[in-house]
Amino acid sequence: MADTTPQNRFFHPLSDDMLAAYLERIGYQGVLSPTLEVLDDLHRAHVTTICFENIQPFMGLPLSVALDDIFNKMILEKRGGYCFEHNLLFASVLLKLGFQLEMLTARVVFNTVPVTPRTHMLLQIYQDKSTWLADVGFGTKGILLPLSMEPGFPPRHFAGRSFRVKPQGRFRVLQSMIQNTWTDLYIFSLEPQEWVDYKMANHYVSTHPDSKFTQMLILQIHTKNSQITLKEKEIIETRAGELIKKTVVGKKTMSDLFKKTFHLHLTRAMVAPLQRILFRS
């Protein structure tokens, strides 16, 4: 198989110090060989430690998808991010460890009525003569562990939920079992993307008034057996698709919630304007 990794197109490799800082951030202390077991462990550690969040687009602040900016934000500043940030960072880590991969785009179809643009990023991993879908940036509706993209491969089950990748003509569809029905989450082709594709999509998602990420504050994180979502001032925890707890967040408790539940270390300069917007004071 030809070398399909994108590192020579727009990735500079992570330094050893950057890799060490990433591994410390996600609490990973295992081996670092490019195997499916390591891919599983890194994927799980990432999505249970670094949250999905759209704070900057929601506040009208610019958002960069340059790798150094992503690293500074998500690792050094202990912030979160959304799909482009999560998956560009994860791709850079996997490339550093010797994985072969391609970076793709998807059209989200879950809970959408009009046709949406291709504004989601995911990764195709080549391993053991097979291909795998890795995606650490789809929030709590997404996968905890990578999925096989091989036709006929059985669904994967984790945290009380089931997922599979299904061929659809020249496309693939990520599906989740929701209320006993296989439900489409997003559809994607296998056409490799360039960094400029993500730069353009990021500009739309982070600035356009039609983007949900400019309209509503969303924070999401996986635990090992549940999913936690904050939308505006309401926090919801689910397990296996069932509601566990729903609470309304108060202004005084928001800062602690960010840190303890979503592992976000926000400065007062970030929290204060968020509070003013959400609580109108």
Token match 């150094």: residue? Answer: 68
Q: State yes or no: is 40 an active-site residue.
A: no
Q: Which of 51, 135, 222, 263 is catalytic?
A: 135
Q: State yes or no: is 51 an active-site residue.
A: no
Q: Which of 43, 46, 120, 222 is catalytic?
A: 120
Rounded to a whole number of angstroms, the CA Rg of the chain reads 18
Q: State yes or no: is 203 an active-site residue.
A: no
Q: Which of 43, 46, 51, 83 is catalytic?
A: 83
* Nearest in space to 14 (alpha carbons), one of 6, 22, 3: 22
Query: Which residues participate in catalysis according to the annotation?
Result: 83, 120, 135
